[in-house]
Structure 1
Amino acid sequence: MPSKYRPQIFGWFGDLDKGPRLVPLHDDRLSYANNNYCAFIRKIPSDQVFYLCIYIIAVILLCSAVVILSILSILSILTYLCNPILETNMFLAALSGVILCFIAMYFVIPEIYHNLFSRRGSPIIFNRKTGKVYVNESDFFNFKFLRHPAVFLQPKKRRIKEYDWDDLHGVIIHNMSRNALTSTVLMVCQPGTHQVIDHIMLDPIRAGAGSTFVWGWINSFMFFCDVANIDDGEYKSDQETEFKAHRIDGQGWPEWMVEAFNATSQAELAEIKQRHHVKQ
């Protein structure tokens, strides 16, 4: 059965239901949690370095291919008079190769920025008492197939947003390889609909047919289920200062948003926004 979300995301594998799960967390992506909010990192340093190296090698190979194919194109033009049919075919093949290389680089270069400038794990914050989710990340986390070339000149451009938990829905996608790597993505929908307006990467690149431990733990947490042990993370619940110093400070989080992490009600959240002159 296809996904109920429209438009569907490329590589869709399955939709995930919301609700508490009786599955404990066996994962190192939970950075911190207390009675109000939890924070999961999406970028593990070892993965970040690995994929950065892979994409850099890809760019080097693509650039080399462009140079070689360009030389072949020039040679085919220079020798056109000797064998017009053969040289024309060679020129068209080389030109097609150059175009394909540039298209490939159009997708690879943002991935380099994505891994190079996403620091400290790029945590996503879930507040279960206000039902809000907070994201501060590079724009290259977005699943946008068409990017304006000017984006390449803005590698540190951020998206800093507050979302409603009710408007976020989990989806499993896969990379179509025999390794069966999967990821969990949050589909941001218009309130009360299945119309998708944005995507958020929640749990990148997993081996297996779709491990959903992170999704299950977050659901248990948001539904106040005891299975979600708030001391399962990298930092214990009484180490909020250490967590913020490591993951939050110096990353461009707005002051009001950091305060909102610990808001215990909609009224308190509204007061924080009013005090910091945040538009509702």
Structure 2
Amino acid sequence: MPSKYRPQIVGWFGDLDKGPHSLPLHDDRLIYANDNYCAFIRQEHNDQIFYTCLYFIAIILLNVTIIGCVWLAVLHDNSKIEFVDLVVIACFITSLFALNYAIPEFYQNAFSRLGSPIIFNRKTGKVYVNESYFFNFKILRHPKVFLQPKKRRIQEYDWNDMHGVIIHNFSRNALTSTVLMVCQPGTNQVIDHVMLDPARPATGRMFVWGWINSFMVNYKSADIDDGEYKTDEEAKFKTDMIEGEGWPEWMVEAFNATSLEELSTIKQKYNIKP
């Protein structure tokens, strides 16, 4: 049975149901929560270091391969096409596609600071994202964005329009990822994607999704003191994880909005269009 969210994402494994879950968190990606909002990081620091190094090496090797292919093509007798020419052309094209994948992966790991926190406000039903522009599912990008390694994507979403799906990572370790499908209001037509929980063993794929769903409806299983920073450490959390990371002032203030009316007042204060 295919996903009900269209177009279906590559690697789709299953749709997730919304609603409270009784499962405990069993996860260290929750960094802070209070009665208004919670914050999850989506990238582990050690993973970022590993993948930054991995993709940096891959970029170097791919560039060497591309230069080598061009060099062979220039030196080879072009009067007739031989099998070796086809191999060089195939290698050149494959390397270009691989480089198109490796550069964004390097950028998003090297410049996704402090784990790319995602914020969920249960009083307003809003979700706030501040992440690397390359922390997404695009394949084709305008060439000029490759000259902007620190480009950011800062968005506000409605929780009601976000739906969870599980996708395969196509790895030997049977890892899965939880992705939030952002749909047009009242439909299943997908207009955006947000990575929620990358590279998770299949047995633990419900922990983060289940806790967030419980938190958003104020269910008892979502203990707001489960985070790295305790509830009364909000100032320290913001100092360590939010300040200096490019979050707009209005958005930081909106984290603690207790109603849509208060959120509207905050946006008017900062001249933010609805």
With the shorter chain as reference, the TM-score category is over 0.9
Rounded Cα–Cα distance in structure 2 between residues aligned with 1:139 and 1:71: 34
SS in 2 for 1:77: coil
- Aligned: 1:231 with 2:229: no
Name structure 1 gaps, 5 residues minimum: none
Supply the AA of the counterpart residue of 1:105: L
1:119-158, Cα deviation, whole Å (9 max, x unpaired)? 0111000000111100111111121111111110111211
1:209 shift after superposition? 5.3
Rounded Cα–Cα distance in structure 2 between residues aligned with 1:110 and 1:19: 34
- Aligned: 1:11 with 2:5: no
Q: What is the percentage of aligned positions where both structures have the same residue?
A: 66
Q: In structure 2, which of residues 162, 166, 181 is the aligned counterpart of residue 172 of structure 1?
A: 166
Q: In structure 2, which of residues 154, 158, 175 is the aligned counterpart of residue 160 of structure 1?
A: 154
1:203 shift after superposition? 0.5
Supply the AA of the counterpart residue of 2:199: I
1:7-61, Cα deviation, whole Å (9 max, x unpaired)? 1111101100000000010001001000000000011110101111111121122
1:110 corresponding residue in structure 2:
104
1:75 shift after superposition? 3.4
Rounded Cα–Cα distance in structure 1 between residues aligned with 2:203 and 2:17: 17
Supply the AA of the counterpart residue of 2:208: V
Query: What is the correspondence of 1:111-126 to structure 2 with a 5 Å cutoff?
Result: 111-126=105-120
RMSD: 1.3
- Aligned: 1:127 with 2:121: yes
2:196 corresponding residue in structure 1:
202
- Aligned: 1:77 with 2:71: no
Q: In structure 2, which of residues 85, 91, 95 is the aligned counterpart of residue 91 of structure 1?
A: 85
Rounded Cα–Cα distance in structure 1 between residues aligned with 2:41 and 2:169: 21
SS in 1 for 2:77: helix
1:68-118, Cα deviation, whole Å (9 max, x unpaired)? 33333233227x5xxx4xx62212221221121111101110111111111
Rounded Cα–Cα distance in structure 1 between residues aligned with 2:214 and 2:103: 37
Q: Taking structure 1 as reference, are residues 177 and 121 closer, same or farther at Cα in structure 2, changes over 3 Å only?
A: closer
Name structure 2 gaps, 5 residues minimum: none
The structure whose Rg is larger is: 1
- With the length of structure 1 as denominator, give the TM-score of the two structures: 0.94
Query: What is the correspondence of 1:249-260 to structure 2 with a 5 Å cutoff?
Result: 249-260=243-254
2:205 corresponding residue in structure 1:
211
Superposition misfits of 4+ residues, deviation over 4 angstroms:
none
Q: Matched residue pairs, number?
A: 274
SS in 1 for 2:113: coil
1:159-218, Cα deviation, whole Å (9 max, x unpaired)? 111111000000101122221111100000000100000000000111235621000000
1:20 corresponding residue in structure 2:
20
1:264 shift after superposition? 0.6
State which drifts further: 46-55 or 65-74.
65-74
Contact 1:172 / 1:210 at 8 angstroms: preserved in 2? no
Query: What is the correspondence of 1:264-279 to structure 2 with a 5 Å cutoff?
Result: 264-279=258-273
- Aligned: 1:262 with 2:256: yes
